[in-house]
Amino acid sequence: MILRHKLTNQSIIVVNTFSIAKALGFLLAFFFFYLIPLTASSQQINPANDDIDTTDKKDIIDVFKSTFKYSPARIKRRSRKKVYFSLLPTSGAVPGGGKALITSTAAGFYLGSRRNTSLSTVNFIPYLNFKGRYSIAFRNNIYTNKNKWNVQGETRFSLFPEYVYGTSATNQSDQRLLISYKYFRFYQTVLKQVKPYLLVGMGYNLDYHVNVETVGDTIALSKFIGYDHGTAPHQNSVSSGITFNLLYDSRNNSINPLPGAYFNLIYRINPSFLGNGDNSWKSVYLDARKYISLPGDRRHMVALWSYLWTSLNNRTPYLDLPAIGYEPYQRSGRGIQQNRYRGKSLFYFESEYRSDLRDDGLLGYVVFFNTNTTTNPANGNLSGPHPAIGAGLRVKFNKRSNTNIAIDYAVSKGYSTLMLNLGEAF
C-alpha cells in the first residue's frame, strides 16, 4: 500500500497530542510511584570496600587457567587494577541482508574510589557485512571521581544499505524498500551531579545522512512511505541540535546492572541557525528502567525497561524519526529487525528475568519479552503492539567488571535472530 496522506487534519494532531500526553503521564507515574519507592532497598555502591570481592566467582580466564594448568607467578599483594578489557569477535545478521563481521571491544574502569564512583565504560565496535555495509562506532559513558560529572555519547560512521518498511497499521514484512546512504552521528552530553544519583546537563546531537536513495527500485522513497521530509532522491539530511538532559542513575555498573534504578529525560531542539534550514524540529526521549533483586542463594533479578520517544512537530527528517533499535544506545527490540517499525512516536516496553545457573556465577540465563507501538508519521494512526520473545545464555567473561558474553535467541512475527554481545542489553 502506498500512503499519500498529509498532516493537515487538525483533529489528527489533537488526537496524537492527547496520546503522547497520556504516554508521558504513564511513564512519569511509573517513575515516581514505582521506581523511587524501591530505590531505597536497591544495592548501592558498597562504602565499606574499595575493591571487588570475586573470591567465590569464576570467569573464562579461570577456566582457561584450570584447563591448561596455567599458574601465573604469585605476588605478595595484587594492585588495585582500575581498567578491565573485554574483546569479542562475532558475526550476526544486519539490515540490508547478509552477515556481519563484528569486533566488540569493551573497557571498564574507575576514575575514583569504588566506594563512591560508578564504573565508566568505553566501547569500540567496528563491523562489515561484505555487501556494502560498514560501520565504526565509539561509545563512552564516563564518571569522574565521586560521580561529580558524567560524559556520555557516541560517535559513529556508517555506510548503509538498509530496508525501510511500509508505515500502514497493517504493514507486512514484504512491504519494504532498500535504500542506501552514508550516515555520521555525533552525540555528546555533559552532566553535573546536583544530588546523589541525580545529574543535569546539556549536550549536542548531530545526525547527518548523505545521498539518500533507493536501490534497485523505481518507486521514490517519499511515495512509498507517504512522507515528504528528508526523503527526496539523492538528498542530504542534517539534524543538528542542542539537548537538555535530566539523569537519575543509582546503578553502579552499566555493563551488568545491579539492583537499582535509571531515568533519563532528553529534550532536543534542532533550530534553523544550527544548519537545519526549514527542517527545524523538537523531540522528547523519556527512558525508565528498574532492576529488582529477588530472594535466593543465587542471583535472581527482574529487569524492566520502558521508553517513549516522540517528535513534537511535523518537519522531522524521515530517517531521524523514532525507530525500533535506533534509540540512543541501539539495544531495543531484540527479535525485531532494526528499523522495522518507525513513526512520529514510539512507545517501548521490555521485561527480562535474569538468573545464575552456578553458584560461582560462571553460567547464567535470561528470559525476555518486549513490545512496541508507533504512530504513523503521515496520518497519526497507531500501529501495534509488535511483540517479541526470547531467551539467552550468559557466560562470565570478566568477573572483575562483571562482564557477560550474552548469547540470545529471539523471535517475532515473521522473523528470528541469534545475537552475540558483550554485556546486558539494558
301-344 confidence digits (pLDDT tens)? 999 999 999 999 888 999 999 999 999 888 899 999 888 999 99
- What is the pLDDT at residue 127? 76
- Of residues 55 and 88, more confidence is placed in 55
Give every CB contact of residue 147 below 8 A, 6+ residues apart in sequence.
Answer: 112, 116, 117, 118, 193, 197, 199
Decide the pairing of beta strands 134-143 and 149-165: antiparallel
Reading the block at residue 55, the C-alpha cell is 573470591
Largest CA distance in the chain: 75
Amino acid residing at 407:
I
CB 228 within 8 A of CB 244: no
Tens-digit pLDDT profile for residues 212-262: 888 876 688 888 888 888 888 888 999 999 999 999 999 878 888 878 999
φ, ψ (nearest 5 deg) of residue 369: -145, 140
Of 113, 122, 155, 126, nearest in space to 141 by CA: 122
Please give the Cα distance from 337 to 327 (Å, whole number): 14
Domain-wise residue ranges, the chain = 10-71+81-422
Please give the Cα distance from 118 to 150 (Å, whole number): 10
Read off the pLDDT band of 282 (50, 70, 90). very high
Q: Which residues of 76-95 are buried (b: 16+ CB within 10 A; e: fewer)?
A: eeeeeeeebebebebeebbb
Quote the mean pLDDT of the chain: 80
Q: Is the pLDDT of residue 104 over 60?
A: yes
- What is the pLDDT at residue 36? 44
Provide the CB-side half-sphere exposure for 47 (13 A, CA).
Answer: 1
- Of residues 43 and 309, more confidence is placed in 309
- Please identify which residue in the block is written with the cell numbers 543509582: 250
Read off the pLDDT band of 51 (50, 70, 90). low
- What is the pLDDT at residue 278? 82
Of 295, 342, 291, nearest in space to 316 by CA: 342
- CATH code of the domain made up of 10-71+81-422: 2.40.160.50
Tens-digit pLDDT profile for residues 139-196: 999 999 999 999 999 999 998 888 888 665 445 666 788 889 999 999 999 999 999 9
- What is the pLDDT at residue 215? 84
Give every CB contact of residue 282 below 8 A, 6+ residues apart in sequence.
Answer: 267, 268, 269, 270, 311, 312, 313
CB 310 within 8 A of CB 66: no
Of 98-102, 119-123, 158-162, minimum mean pLDDT range? 98-102
- What is the pLDDT at residue 277? 85
The pTM of the full predicted model, rounded to 2 decimals, is: 0.81
Reading the block at residue 118, the C-alpha cell is 560508578
Amino acid residing at 121:
T
Read off the pLDDT band of 130 (50, 70, 90). low
Please give the Cα distance from 315 to 300 (Å, whole number): 45
Percent over 70 (pLDDT), the chain: 75
Read off the pLDDT band of 1 (50, 70, 90). very low
φ, ψ (nearest 5 deg) of residue 368: -140, 160
- What is the pLDDT at residue 389? 98
Decide the pairing of beta strands 345-356 and 415-422: unpaired
Percent over 90 (pLDDT), the chain: 43
Q: How far is CA 64 from the centre of its chain?
A: 32
Strand partners, 203: 189, 243
- What is the pLDDT at residue 72? 59
Amino acid residing at 326:
Y
φ, ψ (nearest 5 deg) of residue 199: -130, 150
- What is the pLDDT at residue 288? 97
Q: Is the pLDDT of residue 10 over 60?
A: no
- Of residues 42 and 426, more confidence is placed in 426
- What is the pLDDT at residue 109? 86
- Of residues 285 and 276, more confidence is placed in 285
